[in-house]
Amino acid sequence: MATVEGRPAQYGVTLRQLRELMESRGAEGLAKINALGGPQEICKKLYTSSTDGLSGSRADMQHRREVFGSNLIPPKPPKTFLTLVWEALQDVTLIILEVAAVVSLGLSFYKPSDDPTDIAHLDEEEGHYQWIEGLAILISVIVVVIVTAFNDYTKERQFRGLQSRIEGEHKFAVIRSSEVKQIPISDIVVGDICQIKYGDLLPADGILLQSNDLKIDESSLTGESDHVKKGESFDPMVLSGTHVMEGSGKMLVTAVGVNSQAGIIFTLLGAAVEKQDKEIKQMKKGDEDATLPASGNSHGANHARPDDNHVAPSGDKPAAAETSHKKEKSVLQAKLTKLAIQIGYAGSTIAVLTVIILVINFCVQTFVIQGKVWKATYINNLVKHLIIGVTVLVVAVPEGLPLAVTLSLAYSVKKMMKDNNLVRHLDACETMGNATAICSDKTGTLTTNRMTVVQSYICEKLCKVTPNYRDIPQDVAETMVEGISVNSAFTSRIMPSQDPTGPPMQVGNKTECALLGFVVALGQSYDHVREKHPEESFTRVYTFNSVRKSMSTVIPYKGGYRLYTKGASEIVLKKCAFIYGHEGRLEKFTRDMQERLVRQVIEPMACDGLRTISVAYRDFVPGKAEINQVHIDQEPNWEDEDNIVNNLTCLCVVGIEDPVRPEVPEAIRKCQKAGITVRMVTGDNVNTARSIAVKCGILKPTDDFLILEGKEFNSRIRDANGEVQQHLIDKVWPKLRVLARSSPTDKYTLVKGMIESKAFDTREVVAVTGDGTNDGPALKKADVGFAMGIAGTDVAKEASDIILTDDNFSSIVKAVMWGRNVYDSIAKFLQFQLTVNVVAVIVAFIGACAIQDSPLKAVQMLWVNLIMDTLASLALATEMPTPDLLQRKPYGRTKPLISRTMMKNILGQAIYQLVVIFSLLFAGDKLLNIPSGRGQQLVAEPSQHFTIIFNTFVMMTLFNEINARKIHGQRNVFQGLFTNPIFYSIWIGTALSQVVIIQFGGMAFSTAGLSIDQWLWCLLFGAGTLVWGQLVTTVPTRKIPKRLSWGRGQPDPETIQPGPDYDADLDKKPRAGQILWIRGLTRLQTQVIGGELQERLIPVPYSKTSTDQAIRVVNAFRQGLDSRGSLADAALAEALRKQTALSKRFSHSSSIDYADAARDTLAPHDIDVERLSSHSHTETAV
Please list the active-site residues: 441
Amino acid of residue 992: L
Cα 673 to its chain centre, rounded Å, is 27
For residue 481, give every residue at least 6 positions away whose Cβ sits within 8 Å of its Cβ, in sequence order, or none. 519, 522, 524, 526, 529
Cα 868 to its chain centre, rounded Å, is 29
Contact between residue 879 and residue 828 where contact means Cβ atoms under 8 Å apart:
yes
Looking from the CA of 1182 toward its CB, the CA atoms found within 13 Å total 26
Q: How far apart are CA 1137 and CA 1114, in angstroms?
A: 13
Contact between residue 718 and residue 724 where contact means Cβ atoms under 8 Å apart:
yes
Q: How far apart are CA 426 and CA 410, in angstroms?
A: 8
Q: How far apart are CA 492 and CA 506, in angstroms?
A: 8
Q: How far apart are CA 766 and CA 786, in angstroms?
A: 11
Partners of 657 in the β-ladder:
452, 610
Q: How far apart are CA 1143 and CA 1022, in angstroms?
A: 69
DSSP 3-state assignment of 503?
Answer: coil
Amino acid of residue 1081: L
Contact between residue 561 and residue 267 where contact means Cβ atoms under 8 Å apart:
no
909, 901, 905, 911: which is closest to 1038 by C-alpha?
901
Q: How far apart are CA 533 and CA 461, in angstroms?
A: 30
360, 355, 358: which is closest to 392 by C-alpha?
355
Q: How far apart are CA 524 and CA 517, in angstroms?
A: 10
Q: How far apart are CA 214 and CA 965, in angstroms?
A: 57
Q: How many helices (H) and strands (E) does the chain have?
A: 44, 31
Partners of 551 in the β-ladder:
566
Q: How far apart are CA 779 and CA 783, in angstroms?
A: 8
* Axis crossing angle, helix 809-851 with helix 378-396, rounded to the nearest 10: 150
Of the chain, the end-to-end C-alpha distance in Å amounts to 53
715, 709, 710, 746: which is closest to 728 by C-alpha?
715
For residue 350, give every residue at least 6 positions away whose Cβ sits within 8 Å of its Cβ, in sequence order, or none. 392, 396, 841, 844, 845
Containing H/E element for 752? helix 744-756
DSSP 3-state assignment of 71?
Answer: coil
Contact between residue 204 and residue 184 where contact means Cβ atoms under 8 Å apart:
no
- Kindly report the number of other CB atoms within 10 A of residue 528's CB atom: 10
Contact between residue 178 and residue 52 where contact means Cβ atoms under 8 Å apart:
yes
Q: What is the rounded radius of gyration, in angstroms, for the C-alpha atoms of the chain?
A: 35
Contact between residue 853 and residue 978 where contact means Cβ atoms under 8 Å apart:
no
Q: How far apart are CA 752 and CA 1147, in angstroms?
A: 31
Amino acid of residue 900: R
Contact between residue 1107 and residue 238 where contact means Cβ atoms under 8 Å apart:
no
DSSP 3-state assignment of 326?
Answer: coil
Phi, psi of 499, rounded to the nearest 5 degrees: -95, 115
798, 1104, 1109: which is closest to 163 by C-alpha?
1104
